[in-house]
Amino acid sequence: MKVLYHKLPTEKSNPKSKFLDSLTREEIFSLMNQENLKIPKAIANQKEKIIKAIDLVVASLKNGGRIFFIGAGTSGRLGVLESAELPPTFDTPPTLAQAWMAGGKKSVFRSEEGAEDEELKIKSLILRKVTKKDVVIGIAASGITPFVLSALEQAKKIKTNTILVTCNQHQSLAKIAQVVIALGVGPEIIAGSTRLKSGTATKMVLNMLTTISMVRLGKVYGNRMVDLQAKSKKLKERGIRLVQEITGLNRPKALAALAKAHWNVKTAIVMVKKNLSYDAAKTELKNSQGFLGMII
């Protein structure tokens, strides 16, 4: 496929920032702020696609599948960030959400722009590591990154659920994945710098895909993070507060309950509210598929 790079929305020059280098810092601030205000509308316009993508993620995870984020450069780093945040927030296994970035781990910290053209490497990875139970989320602001498109192409061949998050609304991308979320944020104030509006919009969409999916899978009670991993002082304090707020216990008793539950907040709450042993509480949670609200 011949790509006319100068016609990509992510490569175009923004007329509003034509004289960016001659503006004051206050004027640049105002311009960036105005451009960022386009992001919520661009996301709202893709509501139906985002909901469909969430349904694919939930279906895959309920079927025992995993999430694979595929990207290069800024897009790849956003996938890395998303996958890294799920275990501490929702107590998911490290393998549940994985990020594969063009150029490998070293590219997370140092850019390797040529790595985004590595089509054969990612096709091989998809073939060896991904199953039809999984969901592959390709992230490509430009919509033409070979590393990402090849991953989605290979994933489709093995009947894996596929999603593309891009800032290119060209109709040619409509069949690249089962769901294509195309964010019309417009040209960046520095032409081609997709770490700006495009990156911000993409991050917000990825937040929606993972957070809403986790809520739908019972990882949240009300608006509380009851599946957190209490491995730091801050998170332990949050866990104590959660047990206190939901059960009505005072701090010493909440601490005792958490100790009996091996610092699993959700299990501690079930043990207290239902007057159950640790094993019985775990069984209750398993039977309710993790939904605390179904038990208490």
Q: What is the 3-state secondary structure (H, E, C) of the chain?
A: CCCCHHHCCCCCCCHHHCCHHHCCHHHHHHHHHHHHCHHHHHHHCCHHHHHHHHHHHHHHHHCCCCEEEEECHHHHHHHHHHHHHHHHHHCCCCCCEEEEECCCHHHHCCCCHHHHHCHHHHHHHHHHHCCCCCEEEEEECCCCCHHHHHHHHHHHHCCCEEEEEECCCCHHHCCCCCEEEECCCCCCCCCCCCCCHHHHHHHHHHHHHHHHHHHHCCCCECCECCCCCCCCHHHHHHHHHHHHHHHCCCHHHHHHHHHHCCCCHHHHHHHHHHCCCHHHHHHHHHHCCCCHHHHC
Cα–chain-centroid distance for residue 103?
20
11, 82, 112, 116: the active-site residue: 116
| 116 annotated active-site | yes
11, 85, 112, 153: the active-site residue: 85
Residues with catalytic function: 85, 116
